[in-house]
């Protein structure tokens, strides 16, 4: 069957629209601010044969591009092997096991088959970040965890919805193991509803064009994505390009972890080899294989953003399994930091390796931290408890065309900080400051963008704070002579006394009470090119706006 270009384009846009509508439905119906406001979620369509990515929402987290593909693939294999029950129409599986193609336990996946004429045509899957899945500390970001069980409830693929009905027994088990369980029903129903919306929209597309035509279009789109990625790879001179990126510490042992990357270009494909990286670590900064692979995919999406989102775009990317390193975590290694932090260090390593051969395309390192701040508290006088999760942005790296963006989303997605007004409305907190972390952008011909500077106070009751962040010891890398960006800074003020956590931006279970504060200043992006070559007018403008003092500007960019 040959599909004309117009029909192919319409079907491609239709598949994209299905995913976008799932994304919007999920966010608008969810209860938790991290999903409803911060958009820490994603939806996609996957192959019935092997779970390969067909399409993903443009408003979903890029890091989930690969992980949902791997988790759907694992589910299909488990069904075929009889390791989980085969689906019936209306069934929806739930899974958050990191070792089955996932990320960390808080990223909970739903998967539902779409049936046509008694057979599965494809799978719809989505991921939402739940504010809590149990474990040692509220929010799941246990900076000192040494086993995955300390991070929360681990779910293998089970049918949470059976023939369209929520299974009350499985739901009761989940609720009995997580905090503020009464609020989860809103997120669960929103996550399921997004899949049902996707099913209805996809069936409309299939009815209009026919199953065979849509299936042929899917295959052709995959082939074209592969060819387009190969064409871009052909621009990279053959050779091996290396880099090193650092994780501050694993939260338990206060020593850096190394991500050593060698990328080999041969004109047809890129081979990514992380075999020189650090060994598995004691703390939660291990990365499961699916997240490691997805991190490479999202980095390449940043570099070549116009390649369509499809499994075909990944075919020319050969990732050597990094066995024996902390980038190939095996049970029971803790992994809460893999999706939000280690994934961004992996992307940073990719950028640092490819900026040499692609200086006009690749940027200096972005902030590379999601700023994971979880706060679990009790307000006895109101008879309620809560779990607050704060995600925050940082500066992007400078690039050949200009300065980096300030307070941009994390490298792994479009998630943004929930509005201060929403957070203060839902939780007993007050934000005293919410501004740019001025001066944090790395100096360069094109400087890095600035991070975020916020300070929050506990107003009522007691709380326990936990952080799993990074770039507190090493700032985001500058490139081609540019300076590194400013580091992450966390300061806790308790009973009038201020302190910095031992692991700088990682800590757990810090007891707080009314009047105590947490102050976070996120990293700025790395600088691009020699600072002394920066346009004097741009330096003067930064000084005029108070981003640097005159003395700071002179020290960073030289006399003018």
**Cβ-based neighbour number of residue 375 at 10 Å:** 25
Average pLDDT over residues 48-74: 91
| Cα radius of gyration rounded to whole Å, the chain | 23
Q: Is the pLDDT of residue 414 over 80?
A: no
pTM for the complete prediction?
Answer: 0.96
Average pLDDT over residues 442-468: 97
Q: Is the pLDDT of residue 119 over 90?
A: yes
Between β-strands 270-273 and 317-319, what pairing exists: parallel, antiparallel or unpaired?
parallel
For residues 220 and 242, what is the distance between their CA atoms, to the nearest angstrom? 34
pLDDT confidence of 415, banded at 50, 70, 90?
A: confident
Q: Nearest-5° angle of CA 406, CA 140, CA 107? A: 70
Q: How far is CA 367 from each of CA 139, 214, 259, 468, rounded to the nearest angstrom?
A: 22, 40, 17, 14
% of the chain beyond a pLDDT of 70: 100
475 and 524 Cβ atoms separated by less than 8 Å: yes
Average pLDDT over residues 161-167: 97
Quote the pLDDT of residue 417. 84
Average pLDDT over residues 324-334: 98
Q: Is the pLDDT of residue 470 over 90?
A: yes
307-342 burial, b for 16+ CB within 10 Å, e for fewer? bbbbbbbbbbbebeebeebbbbbeeebbbbbbbbbb
Average pLDDT over residues 269-291: 97
What's the gap between Cα 13 and its chain centre? 25
**Tokens standing for residue 329:** 């975590």
Helix (H) or strand (E) holding 253: none
pLDDT confidence of 63, banded at 50, 70, 90?
A: confident
92 and 110 Cβ atoms separated by less than 8 Å: yes
Quote the pLDDT of residue 183. 85
Quote the pLDDT of residue 560. 67
Main-chain dihedrals φ then ψ at residue 542, nearest 5 degrees: -60, -40
pLDDT confidence of 66, banded at 50, 70, 90?
A: confident
Which has the closest alpha carbon to 67: 226, 323, 287? Answer: 287
Q: How far is CA 522 from each of CA 240, 491, 498, rounded to the nearest angstrom?
A: 33, 12, 18
Which has the closest alpha carbon to 475: 527, 538, 409, 412? Answer: 527
For residues 11 and 18, what is the distance between their CA atoms, to the nearest angstrom? 10
For residues 119 and 130, what is the distance between their CA atoms, to the nearest angstrom? 32
Quote the pLDDT of residue 43. 96
Quote the pLDDT of residue 371. 93
Let me know if 90 is exposed, middle or buried by CB neighbors in 10 A (0-12, 13-18, 19+).
middle
Main-chain dihedrals φ then ψ at residue 517, nearest 5 degrees: -135, 155
| 521 beta partners | 453, 489
Let me know if 548 is exposed, middle or buried by CB neighbors in 10 A (0-12, 13-18, 19+).
buried
For residues 244 and 105, what is the distance between their CA atoms, to the nearest angstrom? 28
């Amino acid at each position: 069957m040959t599909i004309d270009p117009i029909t192919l384009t319409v079907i491609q846009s239709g598949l994209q629209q299905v995913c976008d509508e799932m994304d919007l439905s999920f966010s608008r119906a969810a209860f938790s601010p991290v999903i409803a406001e911060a958009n820490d979620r994603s939806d996609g369509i996957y192959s019935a044969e092997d779970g390969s990515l067909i399409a993903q929402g443009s408003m979903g987290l890029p890091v989930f591009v690969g992980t949902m593909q791997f988790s759907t693939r694992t589910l299909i294999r488990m069904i075929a092997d009889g390791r989980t029950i085969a689906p019936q129409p209306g069934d929806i599986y739930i899974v958050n096991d990191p070792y089955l193609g996932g990320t960390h336990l808080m990223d909970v996946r739903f998967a539902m088959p779409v049936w046509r004429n008694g057979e599965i045509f494809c799978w719809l899957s989505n991921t939402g970040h739940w504010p809590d899945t149990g474990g040692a500390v509220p929010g799941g970001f246990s900076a000192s965890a040494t086993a995955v069980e300390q991070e929360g409830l681990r779910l293998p693929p089970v049918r949470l919805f059976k023939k369209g009905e929520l299974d009350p027994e499985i739901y009761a088990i989940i609720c009995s193991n997580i905090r503020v369980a009464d609020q989860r029903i809103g997120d669960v129903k929103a996550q399921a509803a997004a899949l049902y919306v996707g099913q209805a929209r996809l069936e409309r597309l299939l009815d209009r064009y026919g199953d065979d035509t849509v299936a042929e279009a899917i295959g052709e789109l995959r082939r074209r994505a592969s060819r387009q990625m190969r064409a871009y790879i052909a621009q990279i001179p053959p050779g091996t390009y290396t880099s090193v990126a650092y994780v501050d510490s694993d939260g338990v042992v206060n020593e850096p972890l190394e991500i050593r990357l060698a990328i080999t270009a041969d004109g047809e494909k890129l081979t990514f080899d992380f075999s020189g990286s650090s060994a598995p670590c004691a703390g939660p900064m291990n990365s499961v294989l699916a997240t490691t692979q997805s991190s490479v995919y999202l980095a390449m999406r940043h570099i070549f953003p116009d390649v369509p989102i499809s499994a075909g775009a990944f075919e020319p990317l050969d990732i050597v399994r990094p066995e024996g390193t902390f980038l190939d975590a095996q049970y029971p290694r803790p992994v809460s930091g893999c999706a939000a932090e280690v994934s961004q260090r992996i992307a940073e390593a990719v950028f640092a390796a490819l900026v040499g051969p692609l200086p006009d395309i690749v940027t200096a390192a972005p902030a590379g931290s999601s700023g994971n701040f979880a706060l679990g508290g009790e307000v006895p006088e109101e008879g309620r408890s809560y779990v607050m999760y704060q995600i925050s942005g940082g500066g992007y790296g400078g690039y050949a065309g200009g300065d980096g963006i300030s307070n941009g989303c994390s490298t792994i997605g479009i998630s943004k900080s929930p509005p201060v007004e929403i957070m203060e409305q839902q939780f007993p907190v007050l934000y005293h400051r919410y501004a740019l972390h001025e001066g944090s952008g790395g100096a360069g011909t094109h400087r890095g963008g600035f991070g975020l500077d916020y300070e929050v106070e506990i107003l009522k009751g007691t709380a326990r704070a936990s952080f799993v962040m990074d770039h507190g010891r090493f700032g985001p890398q500058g490139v081609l002579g540019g300076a590194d960006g400013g580091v992450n800074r966390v300061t806790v003020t308790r009973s009038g006394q201020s302190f910095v956590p031992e692991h700088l931006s990682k800590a757990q279970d810090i007891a707080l009470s009314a009047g105590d504060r947490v102050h976070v200043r996120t990293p700025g992006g790395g600088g691009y090119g020699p600072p002394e070559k920066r346009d004097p007018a741009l330096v003067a403008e930064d000084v005029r706006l108070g981003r640097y003092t005159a003395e700071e500007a002179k020290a960073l960019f030289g006399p003018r």
